[in-house]
Structure 1
Amino acid sequence: MELTDTDRARIRDAVATAEATTEGEIVVVLARRSDAYHDVGLHMAVLAMLLVLAATALWPGWLLAFHGWAEPWGDAPAPLFLLTTMAWVQAAVFLIVRYGCAWMPLRMALTPASTKARRVHARALLLFRAAAERRTVAATGVLLYLSLDEHRAELIAEAAIHDRVDQAVWGDALAALLIALKQDRPADGLVQAVGAIGQVLTEHFPTGDRQMNELPDRLIEL
């Protein structure tokens, strides 16, 4: 899903074309992912450790069988033996899951969709404030943000646009982008989305006497 120089040029040209008929300014940002999700791996490891305890409460036979294997001629298992065995098993399970989640595809698969949505939105909002908000004279900046690993996109508009354009209007642009992303065509999706954003901006903020390019047209890659 890597972009080529040709893809970058297409996206840049799409932004320039879209802005030619509007006072709006479009900033396009592409990120591999919006967060490292290290906490998700930790949470899953802790959950797996607790599941061992819950499974033992429901099916304690495995623990008694282990005692019979370890001490076949011993007496009834002592509490210290049972607790020590449980602690070692929980520690092993914790480490297996924790280091297994170091593999990013597994970590992403285990991350709840709601968590991905929140973090993509938070990253997009942060980037909007840094790259688009209050960067134009007429407050007409729009950020289009695509996070590849989460397969999520965000569109955030400045106050002047937000007050005049219903958020549902942007749905078609984002839908086309996500469909193209599922087909492993992120560049095509970004070009289509920029074109749709340009049409909306042209309708509400057509080009006036002021002809300025206040924000960069190039794709910003993180």
Structure 2
Amino acid sequence: MLAEESADYHATPLAWAAGVALLAPTILLLLGIEVTAPDMSLFGGWTADQVEDVGEATARAALVGTLLMQGLLFVATLFIVAIPPVRRALTPRGFKRERVRTRAEEQFLSKNLHATRERTGVLIYVSAAERMAELIADEAIHAQVPEDTWDRAMSVLVAGLKRGRPAEGFTAAVALCGDVLAERFPSRPGDNPNELSDAVVLLPRA
């Protein structure tokens, strides 16, 4: 199964925009920007009311300036990070791995790979945008095969993808998985139905 992308990662632009916006006060301090009250000494000094009014105006100006900068940073960051390549690059790899794994599991169930007679369905799932792959084996074959047994199949698959030859990678990986299945679950003459489609399934973006 080949998916264009396993998730839209819509939370990534929002998270980055919020994080950058919260830096506005720090940015103002680093730039040395200060809001100061005017010198009133030339007008005979300040009264208590003037000091209070000027203090309120100064605090209000600082607050409004900070909020404006936060708003601008939020909007600018949101638009920049929303660009697909940027969004994918700034999404944590662990989160992308989790989404790829989750969608692979969803597809394993939705395509009824868990419904074979001997519970030996195997899904090879590739998510192109994330450049990640997952291999999911049903419970019967999973119980008999150590986890690292599938490493070789995944290695040839990834090698084919890196060379820009996904068809070759898929073919080699499927062949290796077939060898594992044939060894652990040899076919019975006259009783070996083909329960799953042999076609590569192409999935649109999630």
TM-score relative to the length of structure 2: 0.84
CA–CA distance in structure 1, aligned partners of residues 98 and 2 of structure 2: 17
Partner SS for 1:143: strand
CA–CA distance in structure 1, aligned partners of residues 145 and 6 of structure 2: 27
Q: Are the aligned partners of 1:142 and 1:157 in contact in 2 as well (CA < 8 Å)? A: yes
Residue equivalent to 2:25: 53
How many residue pairs match? The answer is 188
Partner SS for 1:208: coil
Residue equivalent to 2:202: 221
Give 5+ residue unaligned stretches, structure 1: 1-28
How far did residue 73 of structure 1 move? 9.6
CA–CA distance in structure 1, aligned partners of residues 80 and 38 of structure 2: 34
Q: Are the aligned partners of 2:100 and 2:127 in contact in 1 as well (CA < 8 Å)? A: yes
Residue equivalent to 2:13: 41
Instruction: Give 2:92's aligned amino acid.
Output: P
Residue equivalent to 2:178: 198
Q: Are the aligned partners of 2:113 and 2:196 in contact in 1 as well (CA < 8 Å)? A: no
CA–CA distance in structure 1, aligned partners of residues 39 and 99 of structure 2: 56
Give 5+ residue unaligned stretches, structure 2: 41-53
Larger deviation, residues 171-180 vs 71-80? 71-80
- Identity rate, percent: 35
The answer to whether the aligner puts 1:181 opposite 2:191 as a matched pair is: no
CA–CA distance in structure 1, aligned partners of residues 13 and 183 of structure 2: 46
Residue equivalent to 1:111: 91
CA–CA distance in structure 2, aligned partners of residues 46 and 185 of structure 1: 40
How far did residue 208 of structure 1 move? 1.2
Q: Are the aligned partners of 1:132 and 1:142 in contact in 2 as well (CA < 8 Å)? A: no
Instruction: Give 1:118's aligned amino acid.
Output: E
CA–CA distance in structure 2, aligned partners of residues 152 and 109 of structure 1: 14
CA–CA distance in structure 2, aligned partners of residues 184 and 46 of structure 1: 37
How far did residue 180 of structure 1 move? 2.1
How far did residue 60 of structure 1 move? 5.5
Cα RMSD for the two superposed structures: 2.3
Which residue of 150, 160, 168 corresponds with 2:140? 160
Higher relative contact order (Cα pairs below 8 Å, separated by 6+ residues): 1
